[in-house]
């Protein structure tokens, strides 16, 4: 009896607008190569107007799934047929795949954030009473969810636009409060954890102009920004005796579960993968 012919190699992609900056193809390409799997991962630049119909026709376009990045994550949530509890909790989807032809969506930024801290600041959540989160956008929402999942007692959100911080606090309930951006210096002394979830400090964006005076040595400071890898925030935090975690770990860890859905193996975030992406960042943004 002859064996059934193998199907076509699975294809996945990242969908964004723009998308050429994305390092996801590098990450997934590395895993495909090192695991010796057939498959490919590309980029699709799709406008907001075209996105819903693009996603609905993903399978007809030959894809087994995709990652979704700015500005499509909320639209992806509205378009998938089945969303995980995590995606439903945030109303944001960044990873899409098919089960029996049905379009599923998840938010893997939450696990990406938590896994990155677990790997690079072990024990970070043990007894953590208070976390400060700068920013109230999509990244902040996933980060707050991750902090609450890991039983951080209280999360204070500070944002340029106060209303957005208050909306986010209401969304999560009584363990999350909003504060004014100017209150940071008073709040720092009680913080076990400080997270930058704004785009400030990223190459090409304004600096994150905050003083870390009062930060407790031993606090954990992490930045969602990963270009540059060592942001001025992390440099100052380290100088003050804090444990620091850069934003690249979150990017690498959020990618793993999508890969498993599309290509059938759960990949590892290894030092080799990190070195590959660091080299790429340094090539495109020399220090």
- Is 160 annotated for ligand binding? yes
Among 200, 210, 234, 256, binds ligand NAP (CB under 6 A): 200
87 is an interface residue for ligand NAP by CB under 6 A = no
Which of 10/200 has CB closer to ligand NAP? 200
Q: What's 157's DSSP letter?
A: E
* Contact between residue 188 and residue 132 where contact means Cβ atoms under 8 Å apart: yes
Q: What's 184's DSSP letter?
A: H
**Strand 65-68 to 95-99 pairing:** antiparallel
Which of 65/135 has CB closer to ligand NAP? 135
- Is 264 annotated for ligand binding? no
**Other CB atoms within 10 Å distance of the CB of residue 150:** 16
Total residues contacting ligand NAP by CB under 6 A comes to 26
Selecting among 20, 56, 73, 283, the annotated active-site residue is 73
Cα(117)–Cα(249) distance, rounded to whole angstroms? 8
Among 32, 87, 154, 197, binds ligand NAP (CB under 6 A): 197
- Is 170 annotated for ligand binding? no
Among 31, 226, 262, 263, binds ligand NAP (CB under 6 A): 226
> Where does 107-201 show beta strands of DSSP type E?
130-134, 154-158, 176-179, 193-196
DSSP letters spanning 203-218 = TTS-------TTPPTT
Distances (CA, A) of 183 to 156, 157, 179, 196, 236: 10, 11, 7, 15, 19
Cα(236)–Cα(261) distance, rounded to whole angstroms? 39
Segment contacting ligand NAP by CB under 6 A, of 10-18, 150-158, 199-207, 275-283:
199-207
Cα(8)–Cα(39) distance, rounded to whole angstroms? 8
Cα(42)–Cα(208) distance, rounded to whole angstroms? 33
Least separation in angstroms between residue 2's CB and ligand NAP is 46
225 is an interface residue for ligand NAP by CB under 6 A = yes
224 is an interface residue for ligand NAP by CB under 6 A = yes
250 is an interface residue for ligand NAP by CB under 6 A = yes
Strand order from edge to edge, sheet including 95-99: 40-45, 11-16, 65-68, 95-99, 102-106, 82-83
Catalytic site residue 174? Answer: no
Cα(240)–Cα(164) distance, rounded to whole angstroms? 30
199 is an interface residue for ligand NAP by CB under 6 A = yes
Looking at residues 147 to 166 of the shown chain, list those that interact with ligand NAP (rule: CB under 6 A): 159-161, 164
Looking at residues 118 to 137 of the shown chain, list those that interact with ligand NAP (rule: CB under 6 A): 135-137
Cα(147)–Cα(206) distance, rounded to whole angstroms? 26
x/- binding map, residues 203-222, to ligand NAP, per CB under 6 A? Answer: ---x----------------
Least separation in angstroms between residue 232's CB and ligand NAP is 14
Which of 8/48 has CB closer to ligand NAP? 48
274 is an interface residue for ligand NAP by CB under 6 A = no
> Where does the chain show beta strands of DSSP type E?
11-16, 40-45, 65-68, 82-83, 95-99, 102-106, 130-134, 154-158, 176-179, 193-196, 220-223, 243-245
139 is an interface residue for ligand NAP by CB under 6 A = yes
The catalytic residue positions are: 73
**Residue ranges for the binding site for NADP(+)?**
85, 135-139, 159-164, 224, 247
State the residues that interact with ligand NAP by CB under 6 A.
70, 109, 112, 135-140, 159-161, 164, 197-200, 202, 206, 224-226, 247, 250-251, 254
């Amino acid at each position: 009896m002859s064996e059934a012919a193998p199907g076509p190699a699975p294809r996945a992609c990242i969908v964004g607008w723009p998308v050429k900056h994305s390092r996801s193809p590098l990450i997934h390409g590395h895993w495909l190569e090192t695991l010796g799997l057939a498959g490919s991962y590309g980029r699709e630049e799709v406008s907001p107007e075209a996105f819903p119909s693009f996603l609905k026709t993903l399978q007809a376009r030959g894809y087994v799934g995709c990652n979704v990045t700015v500005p499509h994550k909320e639209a992806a949530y509205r378009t998938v047929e089945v969303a995980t509890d995590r995606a439903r909790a945030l109303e944001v989807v960044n990873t899409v795949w098919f089960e029996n032809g049905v379009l599923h969506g998840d938010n893997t930024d939450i696990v990406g954030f938590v896994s990155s801290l677990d790997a690079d600041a072990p024990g970070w959540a043990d007894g953590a009473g208070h976390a400060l989160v700068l920013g109230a956008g999509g990244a902040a929402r996933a980060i707050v969810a991750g902090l609450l999942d890991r039983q951080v007692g209280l999360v204070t959100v500070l944002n340029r636009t106060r209303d957005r911080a208050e909306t986010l606090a209401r969304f999560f309930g009584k363990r999350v409060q909003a504060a004014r951006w100017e209150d940071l210096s008073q709040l720092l002394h009680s913080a076990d954890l400080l997270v930058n979830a704004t785009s400030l400090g990223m190459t090409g964006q304004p600096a994150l102009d905050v003083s870390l005076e009062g930060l407790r040595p031993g606090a954990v400071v992490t930045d969602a920004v990963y270009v540059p890898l060592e942001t001025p925030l992390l440099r100052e935090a380290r100088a003050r005796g804090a444990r620091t975690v850069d934003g690249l770990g979150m990017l690498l860890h959020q990618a793993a579960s999508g890969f498993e859905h599309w290509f059938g193996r759960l990949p590892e975030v290894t030092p080799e993968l990190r070195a590959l992406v660091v080299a790429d960042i340094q090539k495109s943004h020399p220090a």
